[in-house]
Amino acid sequence: MTLTDQVPETLRHAQLRAGVGAPTVAAAASPAAGILRRSPMDTQSAASGTSVPVLDITIPVSNEENELEHSLRRLHAHLLASIPHTFRITVADIASTDATLRIAERVARELREVRVVRLSDPGRGNALRTAWLASASPVLAYMDVELSTDLAALGPLLAPLISGHSDLAIGTRLARGSRVLRSRRREFISRGYNFLLHALLGAHFSDAQCGFKAIRADIAQRILPHTLDNSWFFDTELLVLAERSGLRVHEVPVDWTAGPGSSVDVVQTALADLRGMGRLSRDFATRCIPLAELRADLARVTPPLP
């Protein structure tokens, strides 16, 4: 795709949390307790239309001119060789001021499965929310531009979503079977942060911030409007909301190598995440997040198998 799409901010999060303009769904029977599987996706129907691929992978970028082209070509080649479904790679450019946008557009002219969207508002969370809500694909995913996670984990990440066994799937660097190369400092911060999530928010997932996640689009359309964070805490907020809403989060142990050129300030990101935890705890305590309504809405999405 050669044209850069200008994607406006499509949500007003405060209104959506209050129920104004929230997505509606047709009524269906609520699932019984203990059901573990939704209906599988009809990937054949999804694949029949060339404009609606089964999988849409978003790569949020901001001033990534050194990494982008190599990562796009590597990911594209892997998808062609290893994923038996139609796909799209969406480069979500977050107001880059270097050559990132030009590189993305040039690659998109060569590879028809690549498209580029340009966002003026900052934040990885905002980029993912906007790109995912604008996508018509039934499976949505994202990964960081460094491709730090071994792409061999992509198939296991997608399979439980397509089969109906899970609603979200995440890569985890902190599970048995994962192999991780990063500094002791980053390992300590990551494990400490996830410990706090378990202790303070009752989370059960093992790794909130691994940049390797996927979600069924029918689930995303219902849960994303209830997320507020526009930056790095978006991942945590999404996962905590998913668990509190009764969704099933599948974890895939991954091989992960820290990128040498990563621009993430680990300490500042961790502090912002702690502030996000405090805000999310208050929102649950004050019932700003309508969990009962969200659970009921999600129960009507693709009724589980009997």
Q: Is residue 229 part of a domain?
A: yes
Contact between 190 and 266 under an 8 Å Cβ cutoff? The reply is no
CATH of the domain at 91: 3.90.550.10
Residue 188: per-residue pLDDT: 79
Range of the domain at 104: 41-258+265-299
Task: Tokens 């599970």: give the residue.
Answer: 175
Residues 13-39 have a mean pLDDT of 42
Q: Which residues are catalytic?
A: 235
CA distances from 79 to 71, 96, 109, 161, 247 (A): 12, 26, 18, 17, 27
Q: Determine, yes or no, domain membership for 31.
A: no
Give CA–CA dist 86/43, Å, rounded: 9
pLDDT band at 272 (very low <50, low <70, confident <90, very high): confident
Could you give the angle at which helices 234-244 and 266-285 cross, rounded to 10 degrees? 30
Mean pLDDT of the chain: 84
Position 306 scores a pLDDT of 56
What residues contact 255, with CB distance under 8 A and at least 6 apart? 149, 150, 152, 153, 178, 179, 180
Residue 46: pLDDT over 90: no
Region 255-266: mean pLDDT is 71
Q: What is the pLDDT of residue 264?
A: 60
Residue 87 half-sphere exposure toward CB, CA atoms < 13 A: 23
| Both tokens assigned to 279 | 């805000």
Q: Is residue 35 in some structural domain?
A: no
Alpha-carbon distance of 33 to 298, in angstroms, equals: 13
Calpha distance 56→139 (Å, rounded)? 6
Q: At what angle do helices 124-134 and 234-244 cross, to 10 degrees?
A: 60
**Does residue 188 lie within any of the structural domains?**
yes
Report yes or no on 28 lying in a domain.
Answer: no
- Number of structural domains (the chain) is 1
Q: Is residue 12 part of a domain?
A: no
User: Mean pLDDT throughout 189-209?
Assistant: 86
What pTM value is reported for the model? Answer: 0.85
Task: Tell whether 10 is covered by a domain.
Answer: no
pLDDT at 173 over 60: yes
- The answer to whether position 24 is within a domain reads no
